[in-house]
Amino acid sequence: MATLRLENGTIYSDLTDIRPQLAPLNIHLNRWPVGDNPELQTLLAKAALSDSEKEQVLTALDHYFAQLQQEAGYQSRDLIVLHPDIPNLGDLLAKFERCHTHADDEVRYIIEGEGVFGFVTPTGEQMELTIQGEEYINVPAGTEHWFYLTPRQRIKAVRYFSTTEGWTPDYTDTPIRMSRQSYEQAR
C-alpha cells in the first residue's frame, strides 16, 4: 500500500487521501492487480529473472500495456529487476537519488518490492511517496523528483515508454531536505 510522507511529517496511507496531495503535480497513482496466476506469482517471488522469464512476466501483464497504448500512445515496455546481488547496484541507483526531471513521463508499474519517489511541489515543499507491488505511477515530464529503493533493495517494475530518450535525468541541483533516516522513522 502506498504511503505519502509530507515534509511537515504528515503521513497518508489511503489512495483517496494521497491523490489530492499529488494532484498539483499531475501525478497519477493507481492500484493495478497482478492477478493470482501461479506461474506469475512464482516468477515474482524470485529475486532475479532471466530474459525469457522477464518476457513471461511482461506478456502476462500486457493487458495494461495495451490499455496504455490505446489511451496514451505508449510504444514499448520493459521490466527492470533490482535486488541486492546486482553488481554496482549503488552506482546504478545513485543517478536517480538526486533531484532531476525527465523530458518524457516516467511511468512505472511496480509489480513486486518497493521504492520511494520524492517530489518537489510547485510551492517548493517536498514529499516522499513509497510505492509497492500492484501500484502504478505516472510522473509527468518536467516534474522535479528523485527515487531510491527502500532498505530491502528489491523491486520489479514494468516501465512504459513513449520514447526511451526522454528518460535521461536532467539534474536540477535542488537540495533534498527529506532524509532516508526520517523515512525509516516513519515506517
Binding residues for Fe(2+): 100, 102, 106, 145
Residue with cell 511541489: 121
Q: Is 78 helix (H, G, I), strand (E, B) or coil?
A: strand
CB 120 within 8 A of CB 128: no
Q: What is the Cα–Cα distance from 153 to 114, expressed in whole angstroms?
A: 8
* E strand residue ranges, 2-139: 3-6, 11-12, 28-31, 76-82, 100-101, 106-120, 126-132, 135-139
- The alpha carbon of 172 is separated from its chain's Cα centroid by a whole number of angstroms, namely 19
> Binding site residues for Ni(2+), as ranges?
100, 102, 106, 145
CB 5 within 8 A of CB 178: yes
> Binding site residues, as ranges?
100, 102, 106, 145
Burial of residue 75 (CB within 10 Å: 0-12, 13-18, 19+) is exposed
